[in-house]
Structure 1
Amino acid sequence: MSHQEKVINFATTIAKIARITNIANELYKEIHGIHPSNRRSQKQGFFKTCIKQLKEKNDKHFFKTTWMNISSFNLLLLLLKHRMERFSNRKAVEPETRLAVTLMFLEQGCNFHVISMAFKLGISTVRKVIYETCDAIWDELHAVYLSLPNSRELRGIANKFYVKTGMPNCLGAIDGKQIHITNPKDNGSMYYNYKKTFSMILMAACDANYVFTYVDVGALRCQSDGGILGRSAFGRKLLNGTLEVPCNTNLPGTSTSFPYYYVASSAFPLKTNLMRPFPGRHLTTDKDKFNLALSKARLHIENAFGILANRWRVLHTTIHACPKNVEKIVLATVVLHNFLMLQNDRNYFTLEVADHSVDNQEIHGRWREVKSLESFQPKTANRSSTSAFQLREKLKEFISSNTS
């Protein structure tokens, strides 16, 4: 790391400490009307003096600290409490505090030293609390909030995509983003990217409501067609055509039988159940219409990633942890996103956050105001079958004849 980069990282850390301090000061003033340094209760830490009282008095400021409303926090605590209770001769960190520590880390993206000072806990304790809580969030929530949809749910997703984008039989959009990490001590080359930095790949699929339906986190360098997509059970089944999906159905208003499929960018291979755009420029009108409809569907995964990273800003940082713990952190943010989306937490998501239309005019979502996650280009060999090309042609003809 160059001297300039070290200076920039140091300045960024100071700015984050200042931000946390300012938040704490504002919350003290809001609750007590006095500066926190003049109260002996400050020794109890940020949580004891602020968070608990905010839950009782001020939902607005509570949301600024945790990215969720009080009822969502209480439900989350109830679901996780039995996993976070600790018994020790020394006074254990309470489950409520453990959750608040983890949420602030994920939401602010600040390092362990900042959290340690804010909560008056040791750095090693903060680190352990965050990793254990992220583990608990994934273990306890993913079976409910991030399970693969069943056939009925998949058909519902496809109907929603058709209404919103004109793409029939679409089960979701797939893409991958880079999560920057520090150089791992072992097998660093597995995470080395073309920009000469280190990263892991967050691969995911989402539905038409920006809820993730599949997620995988792994190393950048992966063998097999489809890159990291092919290393998971979901990806392998998708690429070899054995993924369980609803039976083929007729395209709307026709007698043409057609399979269900996912959509992806041109970086992914064309398969019978994975549609990608036509390549090249100066395309014919029917191919342009197809690409436009596919792009509308694919933008749902861009929006899902945008909302995720806008809310959980740890994903914008270079995460200082080993790959195993980075995976815990990233998976926790994804399942928290789904939890809050499915809880309809209005503090977490409103239509203005995502791309939307007003009077037939496309409006960018507020997530675009923050730097987006960096995409990656999987090294794929487009071993597409004749049937895959034929299906894309059929779908192109349907879309072209049903759009003006």
Structure 2
Amino acid sequence: MERTLVSLLCLGAVYLRMKRRRRRSKWVHTVLRNRRLHGEFHRLVQELRLDDAWFQHYFRLDKSQFDDLLTKVAPRMHRMDTNYRRAICPAERLAACLRYLATGDSFRTIAYSYRVGHSTVCGIVTEVARAIWDCLVEEFMPVPTTEDWRAIAADFSQRWNFPNCLGSIDGKHVVIQAPNNSGSLFYNYKGTFSVVLLAVVDAKYCFRVVDVGAYGRTSDGGTLANSTFGQALRDGTLSIPEDTQLPGAAYLGPQPHVFVGDEAFPLCRDLMRPFPGVNLSPRNRVFNYRLSHARLIVENTFGILSSQWRMYRQVIGIRPANVEACVKATCVLHNYLRRSTRTRREPVAVSAGEMSVLQDIRRVGSNNAAREAIHVRETYASYFSAEGAVPWQPMA
């Protein structure tokens, strides 16, 4: 009898909840039905096609780049019409995603302007971002081969006077809204919540390796150690070229190819960081100056990325997994634009005074390193103060 009474009470509660639930008054809202007449893609975007500069300001891509990108990703975004509604075309899906990446506006703002549902925009942005990464990564951010590493080292030697350099490495905190039930995992030292973008950049401001999704509380060194790139660097499976003699210093013997980073990274045979401390010898100050000159390439690249895609200027209020998809999409689009744009402005070189200020900003880090790594850094320091000296460096 009691069980029957409890069951009846439960059924009654469910019935009352269903009765109180607001019934859906319209299958598709009247405003959304007029999408093809008054939606931003069907009106404003088509007018912007008449002006190249305005179109590029709107999407960060010119018309030819937009159309070329559409041909690459359209097969991944095509949807079939149904008896109830017409599908959103791939071009409109791509436009909504690029608009979000370019402005960082909320999904609801884009939903109103494009006259689609809020949840629809959320699904479109994530889906298109993943499609952009999958369709472009093999062509514009492939895994570097030995020949690729040699070409990068040649560019660093020619453009930035750092021989045997394979890339500049650093981490960027992408600010996000605190995920539910995440505790302090995403809370970083800057007092915000973030995921980390770890990147290796070549001498031409292009991303060569990216790792996205590490917790904001993790240091750059810890992010490197936990990343696939860091594990490959530690295991020696990166296809790094064999040791090569430094120009004009055959007596020093073959030296390893290295990545350059700041004080947050550990000193390794294949990864150079500055000498720690303030009262340094002239020789060590020259090394820090030359290393900072090459390392700032990744800082400049992050600046280009965040100025091009204003998503990075906002607090991103989506799930970390979707943030990862958007960040990877902007990185591969950055390479796509760098290699397909004919004219572009190179970042201004840092002056000697600015470089000295940057060198005074130091973070405390561990100074534990293997003897081989210490020997490699000492060799580079000696080289930069002798055969490898350049007129614009500080006097040793």
Please, what TM-score do these two structures have when normalized by structure 1?
0.80
Query: Given the alignment, which residue of 331, 336, 357 partners 1:334?
Result: 331
8 Å Cα contact 1:356/1:362 also seen in 2:
no
CA-CA distance at 1:221 after TM superposition: 5.9
Q: Unmatched 5+ residue regions in structure 2?
A: 1-33, 355-360, 392-396
CA-CA distance at 1:290 after TM superposition: 1.0
Distance in 1 between residues matched to 2:332 and 2:237, nearest whole Å: 26
**What secondary structure sits across from 1:305 in the alignment?**
helix
Distance in 1 between residues matched to 2:267 and 2:282, nearest whole Å: 21
Change (3 A) 1:88 1:41: closer
Q: How does 1:135-284 map to 2 (within 5 A)?
A: 135-220=130-215, 226-255=221-250, 256-284=253-281
**What secondary structure sits across from 2:42 in the alignment?**
helix
**What secondary structure sits across from 1:268 in the alignment?**
coil
- Give the letter for the 1:246 counterpart: P
Q: Unmatched 5+ residue regions in structure 1?
A: 1-39, 365-374
Larger Rg, first or second structure (1 or 2): 2
Aligned to 1:44: 38
Identity %: 38
CA-CA distance at 1:282 after TM superposition: 3.0
Change (3 A) 1:332 1:278: same
- Give the letter for the 2:156 counterpart: F
CA-CA distance at 1:283 after TM superposition: 1.8
Change (3 A) 1:81 1:242: closer
Aligned to 2:96: 101
Distance in 2 between residues matched to 1:251 and 1:390, nearest whole Å: 15
CA-CA distance at 1:148 after TM superposition: 2.1
8 Å Cα contact 2:213/2:321 also seen in 1:
no
8 Å Cα contact 1:222/1:231 also seen in 2:
no
Backbone CA RMSD of aligned residues: 2.5
Q: Please identify, of 160-169 and 380-389, the stretch whose mean Cα deviation from structure 2 is larger.
A: 380-389
Aligned to 1:5: none
**What secondary structure sits across from 2:40 in the alignment?**
helix
Distance in 1 between residues matched to 2:134 and 2:229, nearest whole Å: 19
Aligned to 1:355: 348
Query: Given the alignment, which residue of 298, 312, 316 partners 2:313?
Result: 316
Change (3 A) 1:238 1:189: same
Aligned to 1:80: 73
Change (3 A) 1:77 1:220: same
Aligned to 1:62: 55
8 Å Cα contact 2:174/2:195 also seen in 1:
yes
Q: What is the CA deviation profile of residues 158-185 of structure 1, one whole-angstrom value per residue up to 9, with x for unaligned ones?
A: 1111122221100000000111111112
- Give the letter for the 1:85 counterpart: H
Distance in 2 between residues matched to 1:362 and 1:92, nearest whole Å: 57
Query: Given the alignment, which residue of 364, 371, 377 partners 1:386?
Result: 371
Distance in 2 between residues matched to 1:265 and 1:62, nearest whole Å: 38
**What secondary structure sits across from 1:189 in the alignment?**
coil
8 Å Cα contact 1:176/1:376 also seen in 2:
no
Q: What is the CA deviation profile of residues 260-294 of structure 1, one whole-angstrom value per residue up to 9, with x for unaligned ones?
A: 01000011100000001111123222211111111
- Give the letter for the 2:99 counterpart: M
CA-CA distance at 1:330 after TM superposition: 0.8
Q: What is the CA deviation profile of residues 311-357 of structure 1, one whole-angstrom value per residue up to 9, with x for unaligned ones?
A: 001012111111111111111111110111111353xx422xx1238
Query: Given the alignment, which residue of 304, 319, 322 partners 2:301?
Result: 304
CA-CA distance at 1:51 after TM superposition: 1.2
8 Å Cα contact 1:175/1:265 also seen in 2:
yes
User: 2:285 aligned with 1:294, yes or no?
Assistant: no
Please, what TM-score do these two structures have when normalized by structure 2?
0.82
Q: Please identify, of 379-388 and 192-201, the stretch whose mean Cα deviation from structure 2 is larger.
A: 379-388
